[in-house]
Amino acid sequence: MRVAMWYSNRDIRIEEVPVPRIGAGELVLRVEACGICGSDVMEWYRLDRAPLVLGHEIGGQVVEVGDGVKGIRVGDRVSAAHHVPCGACHYCLSGNHTVCETLRKTNFDPGGFAEYLQLAAIHVDRGVFLLPDEVSYQEATFVEPLACVLRGQRRANMRPDSTVLVIGSGIAGLLHVQMSRASGASRVIATDVSDYRLSAAQKLGADTVVHAREDIPDAVRQVNQGYLADLVIVCTGAVSAIKQALESVERGGTVLLFAPTDQGVTIPISVNELFWRNDVTLTTSYAGSPDDYCSALELIRAGTIPVKQMITHCLGLAETGLGFQLVAEVRDSIKVIIEPQR
């Protein structure tokens, strides 16, 4: 079968590898669509492990079912979680499924930028989600990123009637814009360095869009009756964006650091001014739990989050390199999807 083998963001080669073989409890999927995630283009995180077949935002069809699998048949249309928790450890039992050691060790074989992939028994047991007829394979690629957004907003204690500032309007930021609106935010403000993405944010539910080079705290106050934001969600790893977030949160508010930075980045923080005097909460979020996947899929099925509007590029497997350039270089694109059967 063909795979898009990643050596770097500018060196992606179409190679042939064996179709995965499965054992008891396992599945083989024919990958119909796989989205390119912002984490896929983080070279510092992956170069020491290259070459790799990346891709974890998938929609596909079951083509082989191992012995003992129940409730899933050949021909079923599914999405799947690439990381799954054990459900029984200290972290899982305390509701922190995404820091489970098992979750950190599980993955697809190979990644989603391949014609076929294998799902191990643990994935089949707790990380496969049947697609409703209303959800296309392309829309299924949003299940994983939306699950991450759901967990992030839950950790940030997103409340109805909040003023939400989303810094960075890439795919994650735009999902946060839509989820904030769906959750009853009174005002949603979005920033970015790209006019193209700011236009997308406005179309997808932001009340106000502001270019990142402007005075963000002042812009928030101007449209929010003199107040800063109750919740600031940082969807870019730029140090300047994190500083803007800390300056743009209202007393008693929350800053959610949703995106990773480059390796080794540290940020100086005034403990007294930010935390002690202003009672600001600073939190982070990583990945999503199985329940988050189920909720995300239902939001997509119901049309509450109209993800189809975010798809700008659907490319064949041989064009994976172009797709990575579009995402890594922040070109005029939102959601870039690879269709490995093309």
Q: Is residue 232 part of a domain?
A: yes
Question: Based on the domain organization, do 88 and 103 belong to the same domain?
Answer: yes
Of 263, 284, 305, the last residue of a domain is 284
pTM of this structure: 0.96
Of 284, 303, 329, the last residue of a domain is 284
Q: Is residue 226 part of a domain?
A: yes
93: DSSP letter: H
Question: Based on the domain organization, do 12 and 142 belong to the same domain?
Answer: yes
Element (H, E) at 283: strand 281-284
* Signed CA dihedral, 284, 336, 202, 216: sign only: positive
Question: Based on the domain organization, do 135 and 195 belong to the same domain?
Answer: no
Question: Based on the domain organization, do 278 and 292 belong to the same domain?
Answer: no
State the CATH number of the domain containing residue 201.
Answer: 3.40.50.720
Q: Is residue 152 part of a domain?
A: no
Question: Based on the domain organization, do 120 and 185 belong to the same domain?
Answer: no
Question: Based on the domain organization, do 180 and 237 belong to the same domain?
Answer: yes
Number of domains in the chain: 2
Phi, psi of 128 (to 5 degrees): -115, 135
Question: Based on the domain organization, do 51 and 178 belong to the same domain?
Answer: no
β-sheet bridge partners, residue 281 = 254
Classified as helix, coil or strand, 13 is strand
End-to-end CA distance of the chain: 12
Q: Is residue 122 part of a domain?
A: yes
Of 244, 265, 284, the last residue of a domain is 284
What range does the domain containing 194 cover? 157-284
Question: Based on the domain organization, do 216 and 335 belong to the same domain?
Answer: no
Q: Is residue 197 part of a domain?
A: yes
Encoded amino acid at 131, one letter: L
Q: Is residue 86 part of a domain?
A: yes
Please state, in angstroms and rounded to a whole number, the distance separating the CA atoms of residues 16 and 114: 10
Tens-of-pLDDT digits for all 342 residues of the chain? Answer: 999 999 999 999 999 999 999 999 999 999 999 999 999 999 999 889 999 999 999 999 999 999 999 999 999 999 999 999 999 999 999 999 999 999 999 999 999 999 999 999 999 999 999 999 999 999 999 999 999 999 999 999 999 999 999 999 999 999 999 999 999 999 999 999 999 999 999 999 999 999 999 999 999 999 999 999 999 999 999 999 999 999 999 999 999 999 999 888 998 888 898 889 999 999 999 999 999 999 999 999 999 999 999 999 999 999 999 999 999 998 899 999 999 999
Q: Beta strand 311-316 with 281-284: parallel, antiparallel or unpaired?
A: unpaired
Question: Based on the domain organization, do 278 and 291 belong to the same domain?
Answer: no
Structure tokens at 235: 């969807």
